Amino acid sequence: MKTKLTLLSLITVGLLSIALADEHTDKGHVAVKHSLTLGGAKAVAEAAMKFAKDNGAAPSIAIVDDGGNLLYFARPESSFAAGANVSIGKARTSAIFKKPTSFFEDTINKGRFTMTALPDFTPLQGGVPILHEGQVIGAIGVSGAKSAAQDEEVAKAGAAVFETKVAAK
């Protein structure tokens, strides 16, 4: 009986050591990451489209994940064709660099022209990161509103979908 109890104790201690070692090994090596879903991307686009319509605009709207991959796209019939690619480029640039594209437009306007040499880079106002609990989970790009400033307003209205949900908690 004593041998069985000792053996059982050793096995228990061993299993606990392995479990704790695995847990300890993962710390600092694995990150928990939120992801934008198709449903979330659609909600962002719908909020942006509503804001655009309410303000007399009909731009192309692109939603990408945090890696810049297209998740959702909307282009009203009345928007110009080139707006499709421009909105996708703005969204990708914002997602990959985790900044609004207006930051890059301002930087280039201040004389840092070498940034224009970056591949797949659209440094035009109208791309905004989508944040959830402080993490960039994607971005929205808007092109074809009445002005570059309105492109950014529409993008911010879409991205705000997640900000208001966090504030409401």
pLDDT at 3: 64
pLDDT at 169: 46
pLDDT at 89: 97
What per-residue string of b and e applies to 95-123 under the rule 16 or more CB within 10 Å gives b?
bbbebbbbebbeeeeeeeeeeeeeeebbb
pLDDT at 96: 96
Query: Could you tell me the pTM of the whole model?
Result: 0.80
Flag whether pLDDT at 45 surpasses 90.
Answer: yes
| Alpha carbons 89 and 120: distance in angstroms, whole number | 7
pLDDT, tens digit (0-9, with 9 covering 90-100), for 125-138: 999 999 999 999 99
pLDDT at 5: 55
Mean pLDDT to the nearest integer, 87-108: 95
Mean pLDDT to the nearest integer, 24-32: 72
Flag whether pLDDT at 12 surpasses 80.
Answer: no
Rounded to the nearest 10 degrees, what angle do helices 38-54 and 148-168 cross at? 130
pLDDT at 165: 55
| Alpha carbons 34 and 9: distance in angstroms, whole number | 40
Local confidence band at 9 (pLDDT 50, 70, 90 cut-offs): low
Helices (H), 27-147: 38-54, 82-97, 101-109
| Alpha carbons 150 and 30: distance in angstroms, whole number | 39
Q: Who wins on pLDDT, 42 or 6?
A: 42
User: Is the C-alpha dihedral spanning 54, 35, 82, 122 positive or negative?
Assistant: positive
Structure tokens, 13? 């201690």
CA distances from 54 to 47, 155, 165 (A): 11, 14, 22
